[in-house]
Chain A
Amino acid sequence: MAALRRPPRIQVPGPVQWMHENLFSSAFNSVLTLVAFFLIYQTVVPFVQWAIIDAAWSGNSRDACLRFENGACWPFIIERSGQIVYGFYDVAERWRVDVILIILGLGLAWLTVPGTPGKSYVGALMIAVFPFVAFVLLVGGFGLVHVPIEKWGGLLITLVVAVTGIVVSLPLGIVLALGRRSDLPVVKGLCVAFIELWRGVPLITVLFMSANMLPLFMPDGMTINKLLSALIAVALFSSAYMAEVVRGGLQAISKGQYEAAAAVGLGYWRSMAFVILPQALRLSLPNIVGNFIGLLKDTSLVSIIGFYDLLGIVQAGNADAEWATPNTAMTGYVFAGALFWVMCFSMSRYAKALEGNLQAGERR
């Protein structure tokens, strides 16, 4: 049969035809193309000029940068790179952070690269064991020198807040989502109130609350660590969002699955644990990753309540007279922005791929 077909007369369009079809198909389109070219020319060219061609690349003080009036001040970033990653963590102990970052990187790679064996075991280890290992390594104990939390900073704090947020909010969010779908009015009411409260207010007010109100709620004589109260705030806040993501997954499970689980004699908890939740979480995974991206971006708010996270460190450097140049602030933001962008963009790509896999799975 294939022999009956003949190829179209139209060949693959050449560059001229391609441009005619995709850039200059009408007068309006031609104008749009020119405007777009103009915009790109006006933004990309000066940026490249500033970031690369006119930039200061070497030196170890602001004097090196002051000679380059219209270019980025990269020596600032190079000199502060230690702080950007570790904050004020003792230099001799920074290897502990490195170990954590390496474990985290390997673990995530194992979980995201398709085809690696034992994903569920690695995932369980990363959620249940890794946080404790990381905690001991970071704080000290078991023969390791104690590093006070006040010294943590930079990317380290950003990741600590984001990872804690996700690790705590996932189980809490599942419980809240199940509670919201419960038939018991008290359970349902409490869960709805909890979820809507945190989703209805800005994160910064929750952080203010943690900083100003949590200490008041502690029993007399008990103080609460500043970082811990911020972590509690972030965890409560993100578990409300997580609950809604999980609820979305639960709603997507067909009624037949619940009925089938009941028909084989599973009770509520077992049918949830073995039948419904595994499916619902798989369906929610892209949105869980999306939630994590939001959380990672939101961690930058802790700089407002006095933590030196990735953004806070850069902000502190900008204000530092030692590096006062016309380009320090811009350089700092561009660098931190690029770092955040790489992390968030790669995760959003991963979420998109997951979504594609899910859809492909459904078609089968």
Chain B
Amino acid sequence: MTVDLKTGAAVEIIGLNKWFKTFQALRDINLTVLRGERLVICGPSGSGKSTLIRCINGLERHQEGRVIVEGAELTGEVGKIDVVRANVGMVFQQFNLFPHLTVLENCTLAPMWVKHLPKKEAEALAMQYLERVHIPEQASKYPGQLSGGQQQRVAIARALTMQPRIMLFDEPTSALDPEMIKEVLETMVELAGTGMTMLVVTHEMGFARTVANRIVFMDVGEIVEVAAPDDFFNNPKSARTKEFLAQILR
């Protein structure tokens, strides 16, 4: 897949360090994500990959270093966090749909209460994105009535209704049965085709190989290797990467 990278950095991370109490979760992270780039972050569990992308929309606060998202500084002052969150959408492992709201209401909540869109417009926008994830017919159902794969597609649509410039995916397929993983990955591939900047934490190496521009490998809180998919899979440099690949690819 060839990419037409727009110029400029979408996310800049400089010297990032993060602790939970005395446990160091992230260590000296330096990473620049370009606009339109699709980055896959992988690594063993507990390697800090989720923590890293959660630092990008301020769900986790970092103690050292800088995080700059679309030119807005997340470090220190609290004010910019709203600017950043308006630009960044996120999809969670456990979907985190609002169980007391219908699918449509899930998707109109933020447009109506953050962007103050009229209800009609918000609903039209929501339907547009529900169509894009191919489940407009489920709009009036509650999340509990949908399958896991459908729920995750709603979650993607919900994030897209805020028209973010960057999408974060935190292990979006880990909680799904195998037959549902495919439908979610297909939706993500389609999204990649629109030129969206994407940061994806995943163990789906097939997705990484075909969609990613670069793959970031993390272990024990630090970035071990950053490489293009071809190099990463065929020619890994670090011993730790080799070990990881050997386990995950069998």
Asked if A pairs with B, the answer is yes
B64 touches A5 (CB 8 A): no
Is A1 interfacial (CB-CB < 8 Å)?
A: yes
B23 shortest CB reach to chain A, Å: 8
A5 touches B63 (CB 8 A): no
Partner of B221, one of A5, A7, A9: A5
B238 shortest CB reach to chain A, Å: 14
B220 touches A4 (CB 8 A): yes
Q: Which residue of A lies closest to B25 (CB)?
A: A5
A10 touches B222 (CB 8 A): no
Per-residue CB proximity of A1-18 to B under 8 Å, as 1/0? 100111111100000000
Assuming the contacts A6-B24, A8-B19, asked whether A1 and B220 have C-beta atoms less than 8 A apart, the reply is yes
Q: Which residue of B lies closest to A10 (CB)?
A: B63
Q: Tell me the dominant secondary structure on chain B's binding face.
A: strand
**Which residues of A have CB within 8 Å of B64?**
9
A8 shortest CB reach to chain B, Å: 4
**Which residues of A have CB within 8 Å of B27?**
4-6
Q: Tell me the dominant secondary structure on chain A's binding face.
A: loop
Partner of A8, one of B22, B220, B221, B222: B22
Q: What is the bound-complex CA distance between A112 and B63, given in angstroms?
A: 46
Q: Which interface class (under 10, 10 to 19, 20 to 34, 35 or more) fits B? A: 10 to 19
B63 touches A4 (CB 8 A): no
A266 shortest CB reach to chain B, Å: 34
Q: Which residue of A lies closest to B23 (CB)?
A: A5
B63 touches A9 (CB 8 A): yes
Q: Which residue of A lies closest to B219 (CB)?
A: A1
**Which residues of B have CB within 8 Å of A8?**
19, 21-22, 24, 63
A7 touches B22 (CB 8 A): yes
User: Which residues of A in the span 81-128 have a Cβ within 8 Å of any Cβ on B?
Assistant: none
B19 shortest CB reach to chain A, Å: 4
A184 shortest CB reach to chain B, Å: 34
Per-residue CB proximity of B142-156 to A under 8 Å, as 1/0? 000000000000000
Q: What is the bound-complex CA distance between A228 and B19, given in angstroms?
A: 65
Q: What is the bound-complex CA distance between A218 and B19, given in angstroms?
A: 74
**Which residues of B have CB within 8 Å of A10?**
19, 63
**Which residues of B have CB within 8 Å of A5?**
23-24, 27, 220-221
**Which residues of A have CB within 8 Å of B21?**
8
**Which residues of B have CB within 8 Å of A1?**
220
B61 shortest CB reach to chain A, Å: 12
**Which residues of A have CB within 8 Å of B220?**
1, 4-5
User: Which residues of A in the span 1-42 have a Cβ within 8 Å of any Cβ on B?
Assistant: 1, 4-10
Specify which of B23, B24, B64, B222 lies most central, judged by the most chain A CB atoms within 10 Å of its CB.
B24
Q: What is the bound-complex CA distance between A1 and B27, given in angstroms?
A: 12
Per-residue CB proximity of B194-213 to A under 8 Å, as 1/0? 00000000000000000000
Partner of A4, one of B19, B22, B23, B222: B222
Q: What is the bound-complex CA distance between A5 and B24, given in angstroms?
A: 6
B209 shortest CB reach to chain A, Å: 28
Q: What is the bound-complex CA distance between A4 and B25, given in angstroms?
A: 11
User: Which residues of B in the span 61-100 have a Cβ within 8 Å of any Cβ on A?
Assistant: 63-64
User: Which residues of B in the span 17-48 have a Cβ within 8 Å of any Cβ on A?
Assistant: 19, 21-24, 27
> B residues engaging A (CB < 8 A)?
19, 21-24, 27, 63-64, 220-222
> A residues engaging B (CB < 8 A)?
1, 4-10
Can you list 6 contacts pairing A with B, beta carbon distance less than 8 Å?
A1-B220, A4-B221, A5-B220, A6-B24, A7-B24, A9-B63
Closest 3 A/B residue pairs (Cβ): A8-B19, A5-B24, A1-B220
Given contacts A4-B27, A5-B221, A8-B22, list 16 more A-B pairs with CB under 8 A: A1-B220, A4-B221, A4-B222, A5-B23, A5-B24, A5-B27, A6-B24, A6-B27, A7-B22, A7-B24, A8-B19, A8-B21, A8-B63, A9-B63, A9-B64, A10-B63
